[in-house]
C-alpha cells in the first residue's frame, strides 16, 4: 500500500476498512467527552460489550441452581467449561484442540511447564532466554534453577542484541544454542518480545533447540491474538499466555497452555498433578493413583474460574467471527501506516526500535524518544492518548513509548491523531 501523510487519507482508509464495524463492539475509554486514542491493548485490551451479558448469565446460573450449575447450567455447564474455549484457542495458535487448555494465570502455568520440561541432568542444565525478558519469565526461571540446586548466574544464558542494535538476530540465537548444545536443557523466549515488539522465528529456533537436545517453550503474552502462529507444525514443545492483552478478557484474566500432543498424549510425561487433570470419568471417585486426562487437560489443577472464563469466551467469540488472518491483514496496514508517519519525523528526535519487516512484528511499535521522552508521553496523556512508557534499557538513551494499534478497535484516524500530537510535542 502507498501511504499519504494526511488526515483525509486516514479517513478514507477508515471508510474502506473491512473490520470497521467491530470498534462499536467495544467500550472505548473517554477523555473530555470524546473517545481516547487507546494504544495499550498490549497491556490491557478493551472490554467487549458482550462481556457483561455472558458473566451475568453465569451469575444467574449460580443464583438459581447453586452447585447444580456444574452439570445443569443451561448454556454452559461449569464442569465442562474448559472445553468451550478449546477450538477458538486452537485456531489462534495453530494447534489441535487437545493441545490447549485455558486455566490458572501465566506465571503459575509457566512454573507447571517448567516442572515438566526443565528436567536438568548433570551437565545438561542450562536455560536460554532473551536478555531483558519480562519478569514473569526471568523470576520463574531464576527460581526453578535455584530449586534444582544450580547457580542461576552460571546456568542462565541470556542472548542480547549486537552493539548498536535493539533486537535479536535469529542467527545469533541459533549460534548461542549451538554453542551450548552439550549443556542446554531448555530454550524459553517470548513469542513477541514485550519491550521491542520483535516476533521470534518459532520454527527455526525450535528446530535448532531440538537438534541440540533441548526443549523449546514460548511466552505468548504479547503474541496470542496479535499474530498468526503454527505451534503444532513448528513442533514447539509448550507455550503459555495470558488473555487480558490482545484477547481482551479482563484484568488478570485466565491464562492457558499449549502442550504438543507428542508430550500431552504421553501419560508418562512428568508433571505436577491436580485433581481436575485426573480422568474426568473417574474424578469423583476420589481414589489414589493419578490418571491424567489426555492432552493439555492433564495439566489442570483445579476446577475452572467460571466468571473469568466467561469474560474470556465473550472475546473469543469475536475472534472466531473475524479470524486471525483477517486481523493480521489489517494489523500490517494499520501498523505500517503508523510507521510511515513516524518515519517522517527526524531520527535524531525519535527512532522505531521494532523490526521494519512486518513478518518480524505484530501491531506494536516501540518508539525510542531520544530527548524528553517522558515529557512527550505526559503531553500525549493530557490529550487523551493512552500509551505505555518504559524506562530505557540502554543507559544514556531516551525512554520508550510502546504503542499498539489493535486492528479490532483502533482506526487509521487514531493513528494519524497520535502522530500529529507526537509531532507537535517534539516541536
- Residues 6+ away with beta carbon under 8 Å from 330: 17, 18, 19, 407
pLDDT of residue 395: 60
The boundaries of every CATH 3.90.1150.10 domain in the chain are 7-47+323-426
Given a cut of 80, whether residue 120 has pLDDT beyond it is: yes
Dihedral, 228, 221, 133, 130 alpha carbons, nearest 10: -30
Q: DSSP labels for 320-344?
A: HHH-HHHHHHHHHHHHHHHHHHHTT
Q: What is the 3-state secondary structure (H, E, C) of 10-67?
A: HHHHHHHCCCHHHHHHECCCEECCEECEECECCCCCCCECCHHHHHHHHHHHHHHHHH
Dihedral, 91, 94, 96, 97 alpha carbons, nearest 10: -30
Grid cell digits, residue 343: 518515519
Given a cut of 90, whether residue 216 has pLDDT beyond it is: yes
Q: What is the distance between the alpha carbons of residues 146 and 114, in angstroms, rounded to a whole number?
A: 13
* Mean per-residue pLDDT, 137-159: 97
Q: What is the distance between the alpha carbons of residues 142 and 397, in angstroms, rounded to a whole number?
A: 28
The boundaries of every CATH 3.40.640.10 domain in the chain are 54-321
Q: What is the distance between the alpha carbons of residues 345 and 348, in angstroms, rounded to a whole number?
A: 9
Given a cut of 70, whether residue 258 has pLDDT beyond it is: yes
pLDDT of residue 392: 74
Determine the topology of domain 7-47+323-426 in CATH.
Answer: 3.90.1150
| Closest-CA residue to 411 (of 33, 11, 5) | 11
Q: What is the distance between the alpha carbons of residues 2 and 22, in angstroms, rounded to a whole number?
A: 25
In tens, the pLDDT along 205-214 reads 999 999 999 9
First to last CA, the chain: 29
Given a cut of 80, whether residue 253 has pLDDT beyond it is: yes
In tens, the pLDDT along 89-115 reads 999 999 999 999 999 999 999 999 999
Grid cell digits, residue 204: 527455526
**Confidence band for 201, pLDDT divided at 50, 70 and 90:** very high
- Within 131-199, strands assigned E span 156-159, 184-190
pLDDT of residue 139: 97
In tens, the pLDDT along 279-305 reads 999 999 999 999 999 999 999 999 999
Given a cut of 90, whether residue 360 has pLDDT beyond it is: yes
* Mean per-residue pLDDT, 294-322: 97
What does CATH list as the number for 54-321?
Answer: 3.40.640.10
pLDDT of residue 357: 98
pLDDT of residue 53: 97
* Mean per-residue pLDDT, 250-256: 97
Given a cut of 70, whether residue 398 has pLDDT beyond it is: yes
Which residues make beta-bridge pairs with 127? Answer: 156, 186
Given a cut of 80, whether residue 199 has pLDDT beyond it is: yes
Residue 171's CB is within 10 A of a number of other CB atoms, namely 9
- Within 234-305, strands assigned E span 238-241, 256-259
Which residues make beta-bridge pairs with 100? Answer: 258
Q: For the CA atoms of the chain, what is the radius of gyration?
A: 22
Reported pTM: 0.96
- Residues 6+ away with beta carbon under 8 Å from 83: none
| Closest-CA residue to 313 (of 4, 29, 42, 58) | 58
Q: What is the distance between the alpha carbons of residues 257 and 271, in angstroms, rounded to a whole number?
A: 13
* Mean per-residue pLDDT, 189-198: 97
Given a cut of 90, whether residue 57 has pLDDT beyond it is: yes
Tell me what the pLDDT averaged over the chain comes to: 96
pLDDT of residue 60: 96
Amino acid at each position: 500500500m502507498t501511504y499519504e501523510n494526511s488526515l483525509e487519507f486516514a479517513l478514507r482508509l477508515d471508510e474502506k476498512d473491512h473490520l470497521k464495524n467491530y470498534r462499536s463492539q467495544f467500550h472505548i475509554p473517554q477523555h473530555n467527552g470524546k473517545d481516547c486514542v487507546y494504544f495499550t491493548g498490549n497491556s490491557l485490551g478493551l472490554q467487549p460489550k458482550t462481556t457483561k451479558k455472558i458473566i451475568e448469565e453465569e451469575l444467574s446460573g449460580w443464583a438459581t441452581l447453586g452447585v447444580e450449575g456444574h452439570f445443569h447450567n443451561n448454556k454452559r455447564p461449569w464442569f465442562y467449561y474448559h472445553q468451550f474455549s478449546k477450538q477458538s484457542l486452537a485456531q489462534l495458535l495453530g494447534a489441535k484442540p487437545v493441545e490447549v487448555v485455558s486455566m490458572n494465570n501465566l506465571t503459575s502455568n509457566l512454573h507447571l511447564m517448567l516442572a515438566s520440561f526443565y528436567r536438568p541432568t548433570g551437565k545438561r542444565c542450562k536455560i536460554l532466554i532473551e536478555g531483558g525478558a519480562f519478569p514473569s519469565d526471568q523470576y520463574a526461571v531464576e527460581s526453578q534453577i535455584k530449586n534444582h540446586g544450580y547457580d542461576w548466574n552460571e546456568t542462565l544464558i541470556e542472548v542480547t542484541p549486537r552493539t548498536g542494535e535493539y533486537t535479536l538476530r535469529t542467527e545469533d540465537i541459533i549460534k548461542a544454542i549451538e554453542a551450548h548444545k552439550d549443556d542446554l536443557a531448555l530454550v524459553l523466549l517470548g513469542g513477541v518480545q514485550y519491550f521491542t515488539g520483535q516476533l521470534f522465528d518459532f520454527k527455526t529456533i525450535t528446530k535448532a533447540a531440538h537438534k541440540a537436545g533441548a526443549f523449546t517453550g514460548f511466552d505468548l503474552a504479547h503474541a496470542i491474538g496479535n499474530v498468526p502462529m503454527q505451534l503444532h507444525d513448528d513442533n514447539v514443545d509448550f507455550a503459555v499466555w495470558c488473555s487480558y492483552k490482545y484477547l481482551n478478557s479482563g484484568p488478570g484474566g485466565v491464562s492457558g497452555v499449549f502442550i504438543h500432543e507428542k508430550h500431552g498424549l504421553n501419560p508418562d510425561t512428568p508433571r505436577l498433578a491436580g485433581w481436575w487433570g485426573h480422568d474426568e470419568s473417574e474424578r469423583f471417585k476420589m481414589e489414589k493413583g493419578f490418571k491424567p486426562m489426555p492432552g493439555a487437560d492433564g495439566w489442570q489443577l483445579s476446577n475452572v474460574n467460571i466468571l473469568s472464563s466467561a469474560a474470556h469466551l465473550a472475546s473469543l467469540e469475536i475472534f472466531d467471527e473475524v479470524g486471525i488472518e483477517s486481523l493480521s491483514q489489517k494489523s500490517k496496514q494499520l501498523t505500517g501506516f503508523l510507521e510511515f508517519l513516524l518515519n517522517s519525523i527526524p531520527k535524531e528526535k525519535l527512532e522505531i526500535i521494532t523490526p521494519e519487516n512486518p513478518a518480524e512484528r505484530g501491531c506494536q511499535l516501540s518508539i525510542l524518544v531520544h530527548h524528553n521522552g517522558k515529557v512527550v508521553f505526559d503531553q500525549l496523556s493530557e490529550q487523551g492518548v493512552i500509551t505505555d512508557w518504559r524506562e530505557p534499557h540502554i543507559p544514556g538513551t531516551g525512554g520508550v513509548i510502546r504503542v499498539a494499534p489493535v486492528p479490532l478497535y483502533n482506526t487509521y484516524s487514531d493513528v494519524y491523531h497520535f502522530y500529529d500530537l507526537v509531532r507537535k510535542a517534539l516541536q
